[in-house]
């Protein structure tokens, strides 16, 4: 009886296995890289309805974050300023700038400015700004150096592991409350940060939740 | 396969507790229930439209469609919309509370309503209001949902066509011109104690001197207490019982602990009289005589079941007996007493009751139900007066509410053709007017009817013009609390669909602008408060919600025996001896939907009746004896109670309604509940083609509105399956509910810890290492069964706080209701005896059960994905996003407190099998979109396939923790002070039965309760170490009563006393418990 299968088929199962293995590895690596917030979120930089520059307002004019994000120390939600807040200054300064037409339009009509949401946590995450900025966690940790950004982009992954990195080791990140909105502040060295961090964690009794209820309710 | 825990068999001593007749008779059916989480087959698709195979096909198709275009791969653009102008006070995402009040029949309830970004989401009691401690009732809790009712009226309707507000204004101007004197005009009001409405109506009456003003309320119609009080204590006087001052309370057919007859104040006062903190304390004693089990009957120490129509005779007999024992009552009531034919038992009962009342002169109180005839109330007034109750346990107050002509007069006026135009403000007479008036025909006779109502209901349909009404959360107003305190009503949101309040409409009729503005209320406030500085006083009033020191003064009037006797000489009631052929009907408002005006509120429809546990409908309640005598069958299948239809005819009107056998119901009496069978309520409450429950209004007549004698009864054949929850989540095990007499408690203060197997099981040894509990504050809860009356308010409060969906009658029948806290109602009788008498006359007890947050939680160890884990502050938490829906946890929970989302209840309509269609269900935005405004933004809305359960209101705990962090800034945060953090169920409880707090704090209320000898853990022999402890119920029987032996029965197992030495440790509060197994004293006990 003749062979049913030609000789080259002997090696076929091995080839299939190897190829499947390679595909499997590629998929794993692909998902690992492309499907995680590090890739999907970081770098998101939508065009905003008003070409507002944080770099100009914060870095050059030295405005404090809390001038516009007024309730960041009081509420879970850090508010985006109302049109009124913009108009506090822009009725005087650059009042005819074409870049500000959308703001003036909003002020005239009462229609709010539809800012595009960048730093968006999932619905099941209950992040609280007030709990962080009052306790020595700086804006920069999650939002990056917004003070240097012409157009705001998503700088950090804001994934669960990103949150837990800090919740598990707050001493690595915590800073004096006075420096929270100073986005350029840095401890002189990592050793200094750890020494100071450990002291602050101890003195303020910082114990960030690492169980589910801290963020998921 | 579930691991079957074989619970030790129950010893045949003491008391036996049962939930249903099925359980009572140990049917195999019930045993199935115990070992299963849901009824057999409930987890299968049995819907006619969608089989499992079809479902998979559909799902496959939708997955394929989703693949095309890969629309899910792009990040959706979402926007942040700030305000343009910064609003005052508003911090985005932070709630604001406003003081307002909800009008209720027995006095408005002061509220603090939480709003998020301008939308009211939750009503809480106003804790600054004295006497109520921030408690409310289930209606106040559910009322928030009604604001967002998608079926509420959304516009003006003239002759069946929707018109604009301008067209309405033109109509109104024309109307005012046509009726410049009020000739031929009648106004029908609903009942309200608002001083502003009364003032404006009086103005309207003087503007239109010829117009006649009537009022009608279906619940208070035919109530006799006010009439009797006017005779006994003088015109406009009403008597107010002070339960907290009483040592002996006798309740005659009066459910003063349920919120149809009673109020949170009465529950609060009563529970104060029963509060026990140590075995030395004393407590009040409650006797109840009633035709069906009420909440008051459940709390009673001695209860006698007696048809409602026999209560006057009983009262007369009591008065006679009191006189015989030397206390001259002075009422001539022998003529009534002769109708009672008491047997020896009742004779002895009355004798001992009278003796007890006399022994506690000045500390005793007799109260009668509002549906009782005037004669009962008059005799009660005479008895109370003789007992020296006035001024001590009973006070009189002047009643300020004006009274208008009755609807009966209006009907006569219409019949004589003297009414051309009828203005109906609120109310729904086409549905709920007494049947003998033939209201719908009468209304058709009137040339023009204008109807202001919240929904387009049965009456609106027959009216020329329908005006949408604004709810109390959308308009300005005022009201009087039960104690007469002047309360404000302020809008929290503009009327969602341009509705008008009654005050606004009357203002417009008076020629005032009638906008959403407090002008009229300000004027009334000026007259009532007479402030020297108006602005300050007004702002203070609006801020605090009530006017201080405006409580109605007690008038100190005494009972006028002459007037009482004059009235008693001409009785208005007739008596018959009831037999199986001559029954009585007792018609009362429903605990949930009341008169039917709350019928379209899904939370209330799905709220089980506190006694029968029937949801989504009503039934004719009868005793087993009466059902047998009438030949009516009733049986249970797959957990659904089926009752045979009964046709009841009164005055030519028929009602067909299925029966439900109610243990503890009086024989020859049928209880019916109003509020169901609506024909135009909405998708929840029923429409013509799909009615919810059965309408019993056709049986009410003007002369006999609540107690109807000798109706024609006919057996109909055919059965109806009630969506009943009495067997749902039935727990297996022993001594779930623990009770003792006060004497027994004094003898053995630790008796709570010795009941059931706890009397003799060896201490538990755990091989499972509990997760570390390292947080500074450890949360715990206690539920005092001695205070809980089972009013259901906590169930709705929890639902409102935690975004718990309703599932619909169909799914309730499958055992899938979602309430996180349930109230288990048990009947109880002597163990071992199976006489008929047990079913007919059991005791009834209530036990709220929510997740107990076990330290050794059985659910946690079986979760394959760690979706339910323990937090370091002792909470058993659920991470919804991890949950894959294996339901292992629910299967392993001995308390059955976990709830599974079988469907997307928040996205799909619950009617007509739509849930089974999944994404193919009709997309009706109205169904769900508007309800979303009610939802608490701090709690995840769960989707299909996710397990959920009580979280101890974790969102409130975290919020409180964060508040401390914000305060602390760069210092160490303080702990959350005791009492500042309340769970939703605790906050609403008028009896203060639920205590929540930090058990590490020695001085906290919850620590005190955990140390109380009455506290015990449910099923503690399983070593789950629950964080929620229950506290033993105490009864205070009169040892001389003939039924005292039965009341005194407790379920302590009187085993060998040598086991007593190791009974206590398993019950220590979980925090104090330190590996008791290591203690040598307990290590050697023999096992059973």
pLDDT digits (tens, 9 = 90+) for A186-213: 999 999 999 999 999 999 999 999 989 9
- Cα distance between residue B887 and residue B893, in whole Å: 10
Chain B residues inside the 8 Å CB shell of A213: 871, 875, 877, 951, 954, 957-958
Sign of torsion over alpha carbons A107, A111, A116, A122: positive
Is there a contact between B877 and B951 (Cβ–Cβ < 8 Å)? Answer: yes
Is there a contact between B853 and B874 (Cβ–Cβ < 8 Å)? Answer: yes
- Cα distance between residue B966 and residue A168, in whole Å: 20
Among B77, B81, B965, the residue with its CB nearest the CB of A135 is B965
Does the beta-carbon distance from B969 to A135 stay under 8 Å?
yes
Is there a contact between B398 and B552 (Cβ–Cβ < 8 Å)? Answer: yes
DSSP-based three-state secondary structure for B994: strand
Q: Indicate whether A53 belongs to any domain.
A: yes
CATH superfamily of B237-398: Dimethylsulfoxide Reductase, domain 2 (3.40.228.10)
Does the beta-carbon distance from A217 to B939 stay under 8 Å?
yes
Chain B residues inside the 8 Å CB shell of A117: 78-80
Question: β-strand B739-741 against B1033-1035: which pairing, if any?
Answer: parallel
Q: Within an 8 Å CB–CB cutoff, is residue B869 touching chain A? A: yes
Give the contacts of B994 (CB within 8 A, at least 6 positions apart).
B781, B782, B783, B784, B788, B794, B848, B983, B985, B986
Query: Which stretches within B823-885 are classed as H helix?
Result: 836-840, 858-862
Q: Please name the residue of chain A whose CA is at the shortest distance from the CA of residue B85.
A: A84
- CATH code of B584-724, in short, is 2.40.40.20
Q: Within an 8 Å CB–CB cutoff, is residue A114 touching chain B? A: yes
pLDDT score for B1083: 33
Chain B residues inside the 8 Å CB shell of A209: 871
Q: Within an 8 Å CB–CB cutoff, is residue A77 touching chain B? A: yes
Is there a contact between B103 and B472 (Cβ–Cβ < 8 Å)? Answer: yes
- What's the structural domain count of chain A? 1
Q: How close B135 gets to chain A, by Cα (Å)?
A: 25
Among A74, A117, A176, the residue with its CB nearest the CB of B80 is A117
Among B869, B872, B965, the residue with its CB nearest the CB of A134 is B965
Is there a contact between B845 and B869 (Cβ–Cβ < 8 Å)? Answer: no
pLDDT beneath 70: ranges in chain B: 1-14, 33, 36-74, 338-341, 573-581, 733, 832-837, 923-928, 1048, 1050-1088
Does the beta-carbon distance from A77 to B92 stay under 8 Å?
yes
Does the beta-carbon distance from B879 to A212 stay under 8 Å?
yes
Q: Please name the residue of chain A whose CA is at the shortest distance from the CA of residue B82.
A: A82
Does the beta-carbon distance from B869 to A136 stay under 8 Å?
no
pLDDT beneath 70: ranges in chain A: 1
Q: Within an 8 Å CB–CB cutoff, is residue B875 touching chain A? A: yes
Cα distances (angstroms) measured from residue B481 to each of A74, B104, B130, B257:
36, 9, 11, 17
Minimal CA–CA distance to B895: which of B824, B983, B987, B790? Answer: B824
DSSP-based three-state secondary structure for B784: strand
Q: Within an 8 Å CB–CB cutoff, is residue A45 touching chain B? A: no
DSSP-based three-state secondary structure for B231: helix
Q: Indicate whether A171 belongs to any domain.
A: yes
Phi then psi dihedrals of residue B724, to 5 deg: -120, 140
Cβ–Cβ pairs < 8 A, chains A and B: 136
Chain B residues inside the 8 Å CB shell of A176: 970
DSSP-based three-state secondary structure for B886: coil
Chain B residues inside the 8 Å CB shell of A105: none
Q: Within an 8 Å CB–CB cutoff, is residue B80 touching chain A? A: yes
Domain B156-221+404-544, CATH among 3.20.20.140, 2.60.120.10, 3.40.50.10470, 3.40.50.740: 3.40.50.740
Does the beta-carbon distance from A75 to B75 stay under 8 Å?
no
Chain A residues inside the 8 Å CB shell of B871: 209, 211-213
DSSP states along B163-209: E-HHHHHHHHHHHHHHTSS-TTEEEEE-----HHHHHHHHHHHHHST
Q: Please name the residue of chain B whose CA is at the shortest distance from the CA of residue A204.
A: B972
Question: β-strand B653-661 against B640-650: which pairing, if any?
Answer: antiparallel
pLDDT score for B180: 79
Sign of torsion over alpha carbons B944, B950, B956, B958: negative
Q: Across chain A, what does the average pLDDT equal?
A: 92
Question: β-strand B614-615 against B421-425: which pairing, if any?
Answer: unpaired
Chain A residues inside the 8 Å CB shell of B955: 126, 217
Does the beta-carbon distance from B968 to A135 stay under 8 Å?
yes
Chain B residues inside the 8 Å CB shell of A75: 91-94
For residue A201, the enclosing domain spans 40-80+115-214
Please write down the HEC assignment for all residues of B1004-1024: CHHHHHHHCCCEECCCHHHCC
Does the beta-carbon distance from A82 to B82 stay under 8 Å?
yes
Q: Indicate whether A109 belongs to any domain.
A: no
Over the range B612-642, which residues count as b (16 or more CB within 10 Å of their CB) and which as e? bbbbbbbbbbbbbbbbbbbebebebeebbbb
DSSP states along B484-519: --EEEE--SS--TT--B-HHHHHHHHTTS---SS-H
Give the contacts of A177 (CB within 8 A, at least 6 positions apart).
A134, A135, A136, B969, B970
Select from B72, B81, B82, B937 the residue whose CB has the most chain A CBs within 10 Å, as the one to mutate to test that interface: B82
Does the beta-carbon distance from A177 to B970 stay under 8 Å?
yes
Chain A residues inside the 8 Å CB shell of B969: 134-135, 177
Q: Within an 8 Å CB–CB cutoff, is residue A199 touching chain B? A: no
Structure tokens at B476: 């300005």
pLDDT score for B1063: 38
Question: β-strand B477-480 against B686-687: which pairing, if any?
Answer: unpaired
Which helix (H) or strand (E) segment is B680 a member of?
strand B680-682
Q: Within an 8 Å CB–CB cutoff, is residue B773 touching chain A? A: no
Give the contacts of B168 (CB within 8 A, at least 6 positions apart).
B156, B158, B465, B467
Cα B821-B826-B828 angle, rounded to 5 deg: 160
- Cα distance between residue B811 and residue B153, in whole Å: 28
Does the beta-carbon distance from B951 to A80 stay under 8 Å?
no
Chain B residues inside the 8 Å CB shell of A79: 82, 91-93
Is there a contact between B1050 and B741 (Cβ–Cβ < 8 Å)? Answer: yes
Q: Which residues pair with B717 in a beta bridge?
A: none
Q: Indicate whether A30 belongs to any domain.
A: no
Structure tokens at B698: 């056709």
Chain B residues inside the 8 Å CB shell of A126: 938, 955, 958
Give the contacts of A207 (CB within 8 A, at least 6 positions apart).
none
Model ipTM?
0.90
Ranges assigned E (strand) in B756-840: 779-784, 822-830
Does the beta-carbon distance from A114 to B81 stay under 8 Å?
yes
Among B81, B881, B966, the residue with its CB nearest the CB of A130 is B966
Does the beta-carbon distance from A82 to B92 stay under 8 Å?
no
Q: Within an 8 Å CB–CB cutoff, is residue B70 touching chain A? A: no
Q: Indicate whether A35 belongs to any domain.
A: no
Among B92, B955, B968, the residue with its CB nearest the CB of A217 is B955
Structure tokens at B791: 């009013």
Select from A180, A213, A215 the residue whose CB has the most chain B CBs within 10 Å, as the one to mutate to test that interface: A213
pLDDT score for B834: 61
- Cα distance between residue B919 and residue B59, in whole Å: 9
Q: Within an 8 Å CB–CB cutoff, is residue B47 touching chain A? A: no
Give the contacts of B361 (CB within 8 A, at least 6 positions apart).
B327, B387, B388
Does the beta-carbon distance from B970 to A136 stay under 8 Å?
yes
Q: Within an 8 Å CB–CB cutoff, is residue A39 touching chain B? A: no
- Cα distance between residue B401 and residue B480, in whole Å: 9
Name the residue ranges covered by the structural domains of chain B: 15-38+730-1083, 156-221+404-544, 237-398, 584-724
Ranges assigned E (strand) in chain A: 115-116
Q: Within an 8 Å CB–CB cutoff, is residue A134 touching chain B? A: yes
Q: How close B776 gets to chain A, by Cα (Å)?
A: 11
pLDDT score for B41: 54
- Cα distance between residue A9 and residue B595, in whole Å: 82
CB atoms within 10 A of CB B483: 18
Burial zone of B562 (CB within 10 Å; 0-12 exposed, 13-18 middle, 19+ buried): exposed
- Cα distance between residue B652 and residue B698, in whole Å: 9
Q: How close A182 gets to chain B, by Cα (Å)?
A: 16
Question: β-strand B364-368 against B248-252: which pairing, if any?
Answer: parallel
Q: Please name the residue of chain A whose CA is at the shortest distance from the CA of residue B868.
A: A212
Chain A residues inside the 8 Å CB shell of B75: 40, 44
């Amino acid at each position: 009886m003749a062979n049913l299968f030609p000789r080259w088929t002997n090696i076929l199962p091995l080839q299939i296995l190897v190829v499947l293995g390679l595909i499997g590895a590629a998929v794993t690596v692909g998902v690992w890289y492309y499907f995680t917030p590090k890739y999907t979120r970081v770098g998101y930089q939508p065009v905003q309805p008003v070409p507002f520059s944080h770099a100009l307002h914060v870095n050059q004019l030295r405005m404090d974050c809390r001038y516009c994000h007024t309730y960041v120390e009081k509420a879970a939600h850090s508010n985006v300023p109302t049109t009124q807040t913009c108009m506090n200054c822009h009725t005087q300064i650059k009042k005819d700038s074409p870049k500000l037409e959308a703001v003036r339009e909003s002020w005239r009509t009462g229609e709010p400015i539809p800012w595009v949401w960048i730093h968006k946590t999932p619905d099941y995450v209950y992040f609280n700004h007030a709990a962080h900025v009052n306790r020595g966690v700086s804006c920069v940790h999650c939002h990056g150096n917004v003070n240097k950004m012409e157009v705001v982009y998503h700088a950090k992954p804001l994934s669960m592991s990103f949150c837990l990195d800090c919740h598990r080791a707050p001493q690595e990140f915590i800073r004096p409350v006075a420096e929270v909105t100073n986005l350029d502040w840095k401890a002189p060295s990592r050793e200094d940060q750890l020494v100071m961090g450990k002291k602050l964690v101890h003195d303020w009794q910082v114990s960030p939740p690492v169980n589910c209820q801290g963020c998921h309710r | 396969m579930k691991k079957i825990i074989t619970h030790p068999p129950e010893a045949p001593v003491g008391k036996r507790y049962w939930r249903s007749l099925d359980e009572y008779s140990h049917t195999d059916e019930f045993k199935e229930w115990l070992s299963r989480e849901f009824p057999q087959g409930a987890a299968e698709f049995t819907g006619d439209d969608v089989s499992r195979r079809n479902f998979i096909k559909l799902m496959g198709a939708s997955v394929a469609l989703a693949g095309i275009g890969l629309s899910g791969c792009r990040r959706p653009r979402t926007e942040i919309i700030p305000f343009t102008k910064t609003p005052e006070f508003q911090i985005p995402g932070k709630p604001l509370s406003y003081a307002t009040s909800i009008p209720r029949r027995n006095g408005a309830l002061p509220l603090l309503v939480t709003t998020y970004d301008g939308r009211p989401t939750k009503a809480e009691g106003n804790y600054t209001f004295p006497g109520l401690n921030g408690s409310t009732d289930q209606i106040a809790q559910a009322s928030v949902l009604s604001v967002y009712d998608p079926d509420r009226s959304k516009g003006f309707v003239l002759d069946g066509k929707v018109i604009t507000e301008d067209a309405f204004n033109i109509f109104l101007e024309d109307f005012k011109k046509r009726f410049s004197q009020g000739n031929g005009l009648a106004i029908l009001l609903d009942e309200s104690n608002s001083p502003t409405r009364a003032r404006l109506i009086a103005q309207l009456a003087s503007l239109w001197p010829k117009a006649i003003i009537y009022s009608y309320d279906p619940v208070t119609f035919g109530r006799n207490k006010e009439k009797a009080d006017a005779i006994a204590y003088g015109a406009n006087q009403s008597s107010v019982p002070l339960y907290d001052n009483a040592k002996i309370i006798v309740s005659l057919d009066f459910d003063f602990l349920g919120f149809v007859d009673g109020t949170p104040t009465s529950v609060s006062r009563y529970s104060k009289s029963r509060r026990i903190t140590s075995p030395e304390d004393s407590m009040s004693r409650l006797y109840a005589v009633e035709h069906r089990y009420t909440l008051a009957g459940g709390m009673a120490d001695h209860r006698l079941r007696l048809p409602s129509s026999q209560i006057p005779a009983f009262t007369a007999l009591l008065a006679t007996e009191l006189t015989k024992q030397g206390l001259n009552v002075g009422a001539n009531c022998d003529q009534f007493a002769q109708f009672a034919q008491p047997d020896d038992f009742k004779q002895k009962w009355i004798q001992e009751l009278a003796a007890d009342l006399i022994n506690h002169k000045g500390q005793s109180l007799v109260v009668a139900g509002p549906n009782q005839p005037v004669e009962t109330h008059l005799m009660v007034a005479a008895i109370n007066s003789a007992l020296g109750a006035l001024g001590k346990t009973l006070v009189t107050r002047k009643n300020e509410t004006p009274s208008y002509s009755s609807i009966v007069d209006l009907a006569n006026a219409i019949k004589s053709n003297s009414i051309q135009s009828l203005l109906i403000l609120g109310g729904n007479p086409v549905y709920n007017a007494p049947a003998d008036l033939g209201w719908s025909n009468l209304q058709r006779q009137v040339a023009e009817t204008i109807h202001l109502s919240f929904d387009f209901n049965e009456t609106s349909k027959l009216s020329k013009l329908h005006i949408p009404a604004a709810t109390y959360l959308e308009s300005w107003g005022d009201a009087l609390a039960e104690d007469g305190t002047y309360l404000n009503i302020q809008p929290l949101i503009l009327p969602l669909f341009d509705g008008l309040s009654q005050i606004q409409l009357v203002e417009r009729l008076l020629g005032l602008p009638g906008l959403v503005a407090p002008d009229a209320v300000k004027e009334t406030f000026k007259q009532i408060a007479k402030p020297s500085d108006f602005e300050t006083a007004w702002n203070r009033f609006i801020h605090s919600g009530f006017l201080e020191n405006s409580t109605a003064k007690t008038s100190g009037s005494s009972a006028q025996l002459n007037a009482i006797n004059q009235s008693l000489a001409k009785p208005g009631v007739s008596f018959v001896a009831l037999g199986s052929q001559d029954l009585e009907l007792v018609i009362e408002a429903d605990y949930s939907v009341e008169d039917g005006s709350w019928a379209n509120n899904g939370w209330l429809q799905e709220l089980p009746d506190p006694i029968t546990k029937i949801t989504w409908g009503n039934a004719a309640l009868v005793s087993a004896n009466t059902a047998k005598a009438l030949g009516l069958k009733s049986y249970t299948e797959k957990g659904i109670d089926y009752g045979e239809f009964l046709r009841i005819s009164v005055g030519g009107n028929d009602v067909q309604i299925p029966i439900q056998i109610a243990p503890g119901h009086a024989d020859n009496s049928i209880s019916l509940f109003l509020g169901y069978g609506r024909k135009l309520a909405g998708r929840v409450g029923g429409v013509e083609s799909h009615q919810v429950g059965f309408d019993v209004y056709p049986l009410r007549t003007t002369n006999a509105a609540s107690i109807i004698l000798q109706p024609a009864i006919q057996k109909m054949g055919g059965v109806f399956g009630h969506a009943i929850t009495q067997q749902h989540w039935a727990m297996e095990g022993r001594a779930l509910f623990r009770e003792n007499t006060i004497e027994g408690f004094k003898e053995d203060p630790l008796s709570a810890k010795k009941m059931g197997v706890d009397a003799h099981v060896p201490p538990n040894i755990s091989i499972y290492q509990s997760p570390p509990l390292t947080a500074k504050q450890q949360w715990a809860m206690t539920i005092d069964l001695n205070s809980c009356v089972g009013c259901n308010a906590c169930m709705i409060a929890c639902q409102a706080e935690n975004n718990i969906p309703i599932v619909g009658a169909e799914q309730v029948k499958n055992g899938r209701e979602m309430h996180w806290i349930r109230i288990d109602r048990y009947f109880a009788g002597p163990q071992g005896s199976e006489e008929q008498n047990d079913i007919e006359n059991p005791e009834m007890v209530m036990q709220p059960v929510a997740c107990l947050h076990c330290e050794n939680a059985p659910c946690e160890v079986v979760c394959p994905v760690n979706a339910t884990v323990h937090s370091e502050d002792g909470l058993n938490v659920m991470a919804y996003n991890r949950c894959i829906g294996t339901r292992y946890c629910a299967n392993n929970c001995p308390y059955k407190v976990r709830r599974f989302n079988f469907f997307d209840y928040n996205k799909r309509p619950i009617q007509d099998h739509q849930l089974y269609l999944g994404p193919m269900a009709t997309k009706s935005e109205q169904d769900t979109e508007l309800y979303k405004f009610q939802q608490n933004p701090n709690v995840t809305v769960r989707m299909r396939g996710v397990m959920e359960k009580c979280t101890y209101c974790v969102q409130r705990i975290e919020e409180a923790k964060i508040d401390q962090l914000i305060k602390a800034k760069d210092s160490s945060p303080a702990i959350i002070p005791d009492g500042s953090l309340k769970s939703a169920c605790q906050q609403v409880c008028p009896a203060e039965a639920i205590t929540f707090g930090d058990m590490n704090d020695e001085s906290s209320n919850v620590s005190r309760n955990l140390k109380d000898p009455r506290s015990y853990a449910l099923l503690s022999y399983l070593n789950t170490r629950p964080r929620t402890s229950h506290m033993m119920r105490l009864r205070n029987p009169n040892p001389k009563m003939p039924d005292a032996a039965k009341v005194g029965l407790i379920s302590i197992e009187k085993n060998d006393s040598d086991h007593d030495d190791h009974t206590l440790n398993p019950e220590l509060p979980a925090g104090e418990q330190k590996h008791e197994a290591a203690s040598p004293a307990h290590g050697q006990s023999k096992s059973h």
